[in-house]
Amino acid sequence: MKAVIQRVSRAHVQVGDKTVAHIGRGLLILIGIKKGDTEQHAQLIAKKCADLRIFEDENGKFNHSARDIGAEALVVSQFTLLGDTARGRRPSFTDAESPQRAERLYEYFGRTLSQLGVPTQHGVFGARMVVSLDNDGPVTILLEA
């Protein structure tokens, strides 16, 4: 499982002309599910996201997590994180999990993050989405389990 975590001042997802999710200050989490990933991988990444200290304290130090400050999360499935570009010019996505299994783990990841105390909204799995964000910092972290 791969995740790109971006600290945002706001973010939203549109499908067509409809906004399907939006958050204020928090985390935009792009998540890619690879073959062999399990609920334990999802739990590990969710806990890391909830506890990752990337929000500044009064001294400008990264000392607060999303849970500490009551931040929200917006989770978007993105199988392209698993693109292999080692050969040729077209990415190979053979490491990506099947859509049915990936959707189940994606939903499990979001539920786990919510249960950890981070209010969570979601994009639409498998849909063509427009993701808009104001990256705060910018702060972008890559995680893999």
Taking the C-alpha atoms of residue 145 and residue 100, their distance in angstroms, rounded to an integer, is 20
Taking the C-alpha atoms of residue 38 and residue 139, their distance in angstroms, rounded to an integer, is 27
Cis check: omega of the bond before 138, within 30 degrees of 0:
yes
Taking the C-alpha atoms of residue 99 and residue 70, their distance in angstroms, rounded to an integer, is 32
- CB contact at 8 A, 30 and 3: yes
- CB contact at 8 A, 11 and 22: yes
- CB contact at 8 A, 33 and 43: no
Q: Under 8 Å CB-to-CB from 39, ≥6 apart: which residues?
A: 105, 108
Active site residues: 78-80
